[in-house]
C-alpha cells in the first residue's frame, strides 16, 4: 500500500440539507433531487468512502483493516485499534440543525454498553449511543456560516431575555439568579426544556411578538423569528438568546468540546471530528429527545466565543489549533508557482480540493495524481513524502504527530 488513492465519498440526504451547496462544490450546476446535507470522507462503518487502489474501488474501512500499519502508521494503528480516528465532512445547512451535544469518551462507552444490554437496535430512533466514542469537532466556514455554540455569559442572557420577557417565562429566567451560582444554568435549562406544553405555547407566542420589535437591532431576535417559522412552539427557538450566536466568515472556525450545547444554523462548511455518530438532541428537531440523558452530559459553563483562525506553519499551509487528539485540520493554498511538500512523520491524511486543479506527486516513485474542485484523496502513511503542485485550495485532515490525551 504505497499509493495515493482517489476517493468516492458518500452523501447523506437529510431534510435540513441544501439542493445546491454540495452539488455546486462538486461541480454540478443542476440542483440535487433531494436535500444533500453531508458528504462523508472517512471510514465510518455507516458510510465509508471508496478508495481507488490497484485499479479497483474498496471501502476505506476494509482497506484499513487489510493494511492498518501501512495506512495509519504503527503508532496510530495501535492507539486506535486499527481504525481511522477521524471523520471528515462537508456540511451544507439550508435549514437549522437540532440543538445538540456529544458525550465524552467515558459517557459514550457507558451509554453504548447500557443500550446494548437493553438490546436497543443500533439504528433505532430512540437510540442515544451508536458507538463507544466521543465526538469533539471542528467546523470551518466555506461560506458565511451561522452557528450556536456554548452558553452565553449569564449577564448577556439576562439582558437579551429582558427584551422578550413574559409572565410564563419569568419563573424560568429567574433560575439564572439562583443564589447558588453553580445551579444557575442547569436549573434554567432544565426548566426551559421541560416547560409544560400549554405554558410553552403561550409564553413563546408572546416572546416571538416581542422579538419582532428587536429583530433589526440584534441578530438573536431575528433568529428567534426564523427558528419559530421553521419549528413552531419549540423551546429551542429561544436558543439564540442563551447560547452564543456566531457568524463565521470563510476561513474562520469553531472547536466544540464534548458536552458543549450547539447548533449549526446555515451555511457551507468543512467539519472534522472524532469518528463517532453519537448525538443527544435538546430541541429544534422531530427526532428523539432524551432530556435526562442530555442533561447528564452537558457542560453547564458560561463561555465567551473563541473563533479560530489558522496559523501559518509553512509557505503554503495554515493549521487550526484545537484540543483534539484524533485530528488536526489545515488548509493548503497553492498560488504563484508555490508547491507544498509533506512532512515525513505523519499518519494517514485526507485532502479535499475546494478550488483549482492541484497535482500530487509521490516522491518515492514519481507517480502523479491530479484532482479538481470537489475531489479528494487519501494519502497513506506508507508514502514517506509527497509534493503538491499547481494551483488550488485544499483542506487537509490528519492525526497530530504526538497525540496526547486531553484533560478536557
Residues labelled as active-site residues: 281
The cell numbers describing 369, all together, are 495524481
Pairwise CA distance, residues 37 & 45, whole Å: 18
Write out the three cell numbers for 64.
484499513
Q: How many CB atoms lie within 10 A of CB 65?
A: 13
Q: How much is the CA Rg of the chain, to the nearest whole Å?
A: 22
Sequence-distant (≥ 6) Cβ neighbours of residue 261 within 8 angstroms: 99, 100, 101, 148, 150, 151, 243, 282, 298, 299
| CB burial of residue 249 (10 Å; 0-12, 13-18, 19+) | exposed
Can you list the alpha helix ranges (DSSP code H) found in 215-330? 219-231, 239-242, 291-297
What is the Cα 164 distance to its own chain's centre? 31
- Please give the Cα distance from 188 to 194 (Å, whole number): 10
Return the beta strands (E) in 106-259 as ranges.
Answer: 137-141, 145-151, 243-248, 253-256
Amino acid at each position: 500500500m504505497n499509493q495515493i488513492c482517489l476517493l468516492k465519498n458518500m452523501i447523506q440526504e437529510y431534510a435540513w440539507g441544501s439542493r445546491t451547496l454540495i452539488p455546486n462544490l462538486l461541480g454540478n450546476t443542476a440542483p440535487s433531487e433531494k436535500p444533500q446535507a453531508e458528504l462523508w470522507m472517512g471510514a465510518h462503518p455507516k458510510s465509508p468512502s471508496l478508495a481507488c487502489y490497484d485499479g479497483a474501488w474498496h471501502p476505506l474501512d476494509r482497506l484499513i483493516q487489510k493494511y492498518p500499519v501501512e495506512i495509519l502508521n504503527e503508532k496510530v494503528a495501535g492507539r486506535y485499534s486499527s481504525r481511522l480516528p477521524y471523520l471528515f465532512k462537508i456540511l451544507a445547512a439550508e435549514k437549522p440543525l437540532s440543538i445538540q451535544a456529544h458525550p465524552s469518551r467515558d459517557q459514550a462507552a457507558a451509554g453504548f454498553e447500557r443500550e446494548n444490554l437493553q438490546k436497543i437496535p443500533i439504528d433505532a430512533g430512540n437510540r442515544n449511543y451508536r458507538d463507544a466514542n466521543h465526538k469533539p469537532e471542528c467546523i470551518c466556514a466555506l461560506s458565511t456560516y451561522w452557528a450556536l455554540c456554548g452558553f452565553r455569559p449569564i449577564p448577556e442572557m439576562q439582558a437579551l431575555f429582558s427584551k422578550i420577557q413574559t409572565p410564563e417565562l419569568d419563573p424560568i429566567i429567574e433560575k439564572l439568579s439562583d443564589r447558588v451560582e453553580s445551579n444557575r444554568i442547569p436549573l434554567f435549562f432544565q426548566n426551559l426544556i421541560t416547560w409544560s406544553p400549554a405554558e410553552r405555547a403561550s409564553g413563546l407566542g408572546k416572546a416571538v411578538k416581542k422579538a419582532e420589535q428587536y429583530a433589526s437591532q440584534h441578530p438573536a431576535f431575528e433568529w428567534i423569528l426564523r427558528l419559530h417559522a421553521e419549528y413552531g412552539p419549540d423551546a429551542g427557538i429561544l436558543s439564540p438568546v442563551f447560547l452564543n450566536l456566531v457568524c463565521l466568515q470563510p476561513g474562520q472556525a469553531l472547536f466544540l468540546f464534548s458536552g458543549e450545547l450547539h447548533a449549526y444554523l446555515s451555511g457551507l462548511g468543512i467539519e472534522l471530528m472524532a469518528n463517532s455518530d453519537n448525538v443527544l438532541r435538546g430541541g429544534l428537531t422531530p427526532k428523539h429527545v432524551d432530556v435526562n440523558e442530555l442533561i447528564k452530559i452537558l457542560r453547564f459553563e458560561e463561555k465567551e466565543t473563541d473563533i479560530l483562525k489558522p496559523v501559518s506553519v509553512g509557505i503554503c499551509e495554515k493549521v487550526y489549533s484545537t484540543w483534539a487528539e484524533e485530528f488536526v485540520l489545515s488548509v493548503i493554498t497553492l498560488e504563484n508557482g508555490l508547491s507544498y511538500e509533506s512532512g515525513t512523520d505523519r499518519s494517514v491524511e485526507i485532502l479535499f480540493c475546494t478550488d483549482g486543479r492541484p497535482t500530487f506527486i509521490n516522491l518515492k516513485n514519481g507517480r502523479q495524481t491530479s484532482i479538481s474542485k470537489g475531489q479528494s484523496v487519501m494519502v497513506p502513511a506508507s508514502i514517506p513524502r509527497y509534493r503538491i503542485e499547481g494551483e488550488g485550495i485544499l483542506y487537509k485532515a490528519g492525526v497530530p504527530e504526538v497525540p496526547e490525551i486531553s484533560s478536557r
